[in-house]
Structure 1
Amino acid sequence: MPVPGLLSGWRRTTGVGVLTLAAVLVALILTRGPDAPQTFGPWYPLTDQAGARASADFENHVPCTVDNPPVADCQRVKLGVVLYGTPAAPSTYLISIVRAGTGDDTRETHEGTWTVTRGTALDPAATVYQLDASAPAHLRAFWPVSTEILYLLDQNRRPRPGTAAYGYALSSIPIGQTVQAPG
């Protein structure tokens, strides 16, 4: 046989619990942190320290074998190369390397000066963008096959072969492009 006072007390405490939970949820919603950014600007400055404007931004995901030896647990490497100045008046460069899947997604950067030289293993007259010794040795020579495509060359000035998933052709990105997050 139920005790009349016990059931009514349970209803009362359940109602108080629901109200308390609702109040906590409202407080969390109203006091949550700032919204995540919805727009992301470029990872590089639009001018270098000398005031030369960025003239080319080439980026792509490349194989982990870009590093020798490849970094453990690497899934892919996001490689970016920004050139300041122009081929007629080269200035500086900025390289960005982010290794995905390694548990360390920090951006590694290198900067220095670049020059225009000639000759690949495939074409002795081809234009080559040569980066100085501030760049890693395996990231110093690039072949601009067009204004839209930049090939990474190996140390023998041959285009580096890719994998089934990723290649070493970097695509031109509009200078200063911002990215809008979905939502």
Structure 2
Amino acid sequence: MPVVGRLRGWRLTTGVGVLALAAVLVALILTRGPDAPQTFGPWYPLTNQAGARASADFENHVPCSIDNPPVADCQRVKLGIVLYGTPAAPSTYLISIIRVGTGDNTRETHEGTWTVTRGTALDPAATVYQLDAFAPAHLRAFWPVSTEILYLLDQTRMPRPGTAAYGYALTNIPIGQTVQPPG
């Protein structure tokens, strides 16, 4: 076969391939889902049903041993607690639990009322935020060591010890903060 005939066949094959690739790309662009959100608002309402404003949002990643026994395949637990009202006039709370790595990113929530009591095992005069019976038993007592840090207390009112990777000190996040992923 002469060289010209071979080039013509190659050009035809290449042209068909390019057209097929272009058609696939157009189909992918047209059928892809909506863009992922670029910002994420708070996971909680800014006011509760009674109209009290959220006054504190404490969050952190805590060890999976927070669950007894720990959930299978758990890598860490994203724990958040939002307090409505103020220590002078407590109202309600909302707890969020997400177990990371389990294949189920469902947000488990608990809500109820909170009060201010006194006394930890380390300091009998310390302020303690006490949650009602609607909170899991192991998440009912918190020690606000400052406006920025809230320690989870165990049943004896001792601060729960963490691991080398995660601890039980929750950090105050600005109310209603919108998060934008890096990039």
TM class, shorter-chain normalised? over 0.9
Deviation string 1:149-182 (CA, Å, 9 cap, x unpaired) is: 0000000001001111111100000000000122
CA deviation profile, 1:33-55 (whole Å, cap 9, x unmatched):
22110000000000001000000
Segments ≥4 residues shifted beyond 2 Å: 1-11, 26-33
1:13 CA displacement = 2.7
Provide the TM-score with structure 1 as the length reference. Answer: 0.93
Distance of aligned partners of 1:145 and 1:101 in 2 relative to their CA distance in 1, 3 Å threshold: same
User: Structure 2: 5+ residue runs without aligned partners?
Assistant: none
Distance apart, 1:29 and its partner CA: 2.5
CA displacement at 1:7 relative to structure 2:
5.7
Q: CA deviation at 1:23?
A: 3.1
- Secondary structure at the aligned position of 1:16 is classed as helix
* TM-score, normalising length: structure 2: 0.93
- Write the mapping of 1:22-171 to structure 2, written as runs, cut at 5 A: 22-171=22-171
Q: CA deviation at 1:26?
A: 3.1
More moved, 80-89 vs 26-35: 26-35
Structure 1 unmatched ranges of 5 or more: none
Deviations 1:104-163 (A, max 9, x none): 111110000000001111111110000000000000000000000000000000100111
What is the CA deviation profile of residues 69-100 of structure 1, one whole-angstrom value per residue up to 9, with x for unaligned ones? 11111111110000000001100000000111
CA distance in 2 between counterparts of 1:86 and 1:124 reads 22
Corresponding residue pairs, total: 183
Quick one: distance in 2 between partners of 1:42 and 1:171? 15
Q: Offset at 1:14? A: 2.4
Between stretches 23-32 and 146-155, larger displacement belongs to: 23-32
